[in-house]
């Protein structure tokens, strides 16, 4: 059996993408996805996405974590899917597509820049030492210092596997406010069970948390190990946020054929 695959990345968050317009990948299972995403014995990726046809939208996006399980929305994945759809000739520079959390729009700019409109956020849990919110995926956001020196895999796993979050899992973000008013974020992702170079929904969650006490419209630059992203949002009342978008670099890495033995 052979699988024709495509590899894309958005600020270092990398994905295997399968074109399923001819229903060639309907039977793919968790074990195979996990094998494909393995960085030693497979292609290697943080996750796998399938592009399906849609009667209402340009396409439908289905996302799986590298552990093989279907997951919630992936911001960087959505930006990569927009570029992929353009490369396939499905769209030009704008798309409306469907994902697990509903409708999304994306615009492709020059030099591989993609802006993705995110779903509204209608609540944010504010605790003494952290924030918790769903930006398409559930996120734990902790503001601290010296984030560059942290052992993210160790510290993130402790929170993700704590009794409160162990069953459903949560993505864990450590955030530092920088002198230039930007944010530096490192994220431990559930399903990957490790740090990734960038997490789109995590970046959005951190940006929203950073302005939760500032009513109005905002533009927040967020730096990750894989590059910088720009988040735009409007804070209505500290609990409701709309006009949210995520912008940054995304593009193709390579494509090929994987032989399953």
Active-site annotation holds for 37: no
List 37, 74, 80, 206, catalytic entry: 74
Active-site annotation holds for 74: yes
DSSP 21: T
- Report helix angle 75-88 to 200-210, nearest 10: 130
Q: Return the exposure string of 31-58: e unless at least 16 CB atoms fall within 10 Å of the residue's CB, then b.
A: ebbbebbeeeebbebbbbbbbbeeeebb
Q: Are 2 and 258 in contact (CB under 8 A)?
A: yes
List 80, 199, 206, 233, catalytic entry: 199
Closest residue by Cα to residue 64 from 51, 53, 83: 51
Tokens of 1: 């059996």
Q: Look at residue 176 and give its three-state secondary structure.
A: strand
Q: Say which residue the tokens 């905002």 belong to.
A: 218
Give the gyration radius of the chain's Cα atoms. Answer: 18
Active site members: 74, 199
């Amino acid at each position: 059996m052979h699988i024709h695959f495509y590899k894309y990345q958005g600020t270092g968050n990398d994905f295997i993408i399968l074109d399923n317009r001819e229903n060639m990948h309907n039977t793919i299972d968790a074990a195979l996805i996990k094998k494909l995403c393995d960085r030693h014995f497979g292609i290697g990726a943080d996750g796998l996405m399938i592009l399906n046809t849609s009667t209402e939208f340009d396409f439908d996006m289905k996302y799986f974590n590298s552990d093989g399980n279907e997951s919630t929305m992936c911001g960087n994945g959505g930006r990569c899917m927009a570029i992929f759809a353009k490369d396939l000739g499905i769209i030009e520079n704008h798309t409306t597509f469907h994902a697990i959390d509903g409708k999304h729009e994306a615009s492709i700019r020059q030099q591989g820049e993609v802006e993705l409109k995110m779903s509204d956020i209608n609540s944010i849990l504010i605790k003494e030492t952290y924030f918790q919110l769903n930006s398409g995926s559930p996120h734990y956001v902790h503001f601290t210092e010296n984030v560059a020196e942290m052992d993210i895999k160790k510290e993130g796993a402790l929170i993700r596997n704590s009794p409160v979050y162990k069953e459903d899992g949560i993505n864990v973000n450590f955030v530092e406010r920088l002198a230039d008013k930007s944010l530096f974020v490192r994220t431990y992702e559930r399903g990957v069970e490790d740090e990734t170079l960038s997490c789109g929904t995590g970046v959005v969650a951190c940006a929203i948390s950073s302005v939760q006490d500032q009513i109005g419209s905002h533009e927040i630059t967020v730096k990750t190990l894989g590059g910088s992203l720009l988040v735009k949002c409007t804070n209505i009342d500290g609990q409701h946020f709309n006009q949210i978008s995520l912008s940054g670099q995304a593009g193709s890495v390579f494509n090929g054929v994987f032989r399953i033995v």
